[in-house]
A and B are shown apart, each in its own frame.
Chain A
Amino acid sequence: MKITGLSLGYGERLIVDSVDLEIRQGSLTVIVGPNGSGKSTLLRGMSRLLRPRAGTVHLDGVDIADVSSTDLARRLALLPQAPVTPQGLTVGDLVARGRFPHRAWYQRWSDADDDAVRRALTRVDLLDRSADQVSELSGGQRQRAWLAMVLAQDTDHLLLDEPTTYLDLAHAVEVMSLARDIAHESSRTVVGVLHDLTLAARFADHMVVLSAGQIVATGSPDEVVTSALLAEVFGLRAEVITVDGAPAVVPTRHR
Chain B
Amino acid sequence: MTSLVPTRSSTLPLVITTVVATLLLAVGILLSLGTGEIGLSPVEVLRTLAGQGDPFTELVVRDFRGPRVAAAVLVGASLACSGTILQSVARNPLASPDLLGINAGASVAAVAVVILAGGNGGVSGLAASVGLPIAALLGAMVSGLALYLLAIRNRQLDPIRMVVVGVGIAAAGTSLVSWLLTLGDVMVVGPALAWLSGSLHAVTWPAVAGVGLTIAVVLPFLLAWTRRLDVLVLGDDAAGGLGIDVHRTRVLLLLLATALAGVATSAAGAVVFLALCAPQLARALSRTSRPPLLASAVVGAALLTWADLAARMLLSWVGFGPVELPVGVFTAVLGAPYLLFVVSRTRSTSLEGRRP
A86 to B91 Cα, complex, angstroms: 8
Give the interface SS of chain A, mostly helix, strand, loop or mixed.
Answer: mixed
A143 to B125 Cα, complex, angstroms: 63
Contact residues, B212-238 vs A (CB, 8 A): 224-225, 227-228, 230-231, 233-235, 237-238
Total chain B interface residues with beta-carbon distance under 8 A = 37
A144 to B24 Cα, complex, angstroms: 43
Contact status B243-A105, CB under 8 Å: no
Taking CB atoms, residues of chain A closer than 8 Å to B231 are 97, 100
Nearest chain B CB to A234 CB, angstrom units: 26
Nearest chain A CB to B161 CB, angstrom units: 16
Contact status A139-B356, CB under 8 Å: yes
Taking CB atoms, residues of chain B closer than 8 Å to A87 are 289, 353-354
Contact status B243-A101, CB under 8 Å: yes
A142 to B354 Cα, complex, angstroms: 11
Contact status A114-B233, CB under 8 Å: no
Q: Which of B5, B240, B244 contacts A47 (CB 8 A)?
A: B240
- For residue B290, CB closer than 8 A to chain A, the reply is yes
A237 to B86 Cα, complex, angstroms: 51
Q: Which of B4, B230, B350, B356 contacts A146 (CB 8 A)?
A: B356
A71 to B3 Cα, complex, angstroms: 26
Return the CB mask of A54-97 against B: 1 if under 8 Å, else 0: 00000000000000111111101111111111111110111011
Contact status B154-A85, CB under 8 Å: no
A47 to B240 Cα, complex, angstroms: 9
- For residue B245, CB closer than 8 A to chain A, the reply is yes
A101 to B243 Cα, complex, angstroms: 6
Taking CB atoms, residues of chain B closer than 8 Å to A98 are 242
Contact status A82-B356, CB under 8 Å: yes
Contact status A86-B289, CB under 8 Å: yes
Q: Which of A86, A159, A167 contacts B234 (CB 8 A)?
A: A86
Return the CB mask of B245-257 against A: 1 if under 8 Å, else 0: 1000000000000
Please report A residues at the B interface, Cβ cutoff 8 Å.
10-11, 44, 47, 49, 68-74, 76-90, 92-94, 96-98, 100-101, 103, 105-106, 109, 114, 117-118, 121, 130-131, 135, 139, 142-143, 146, 149-150, 153, 159, 161, 166-167
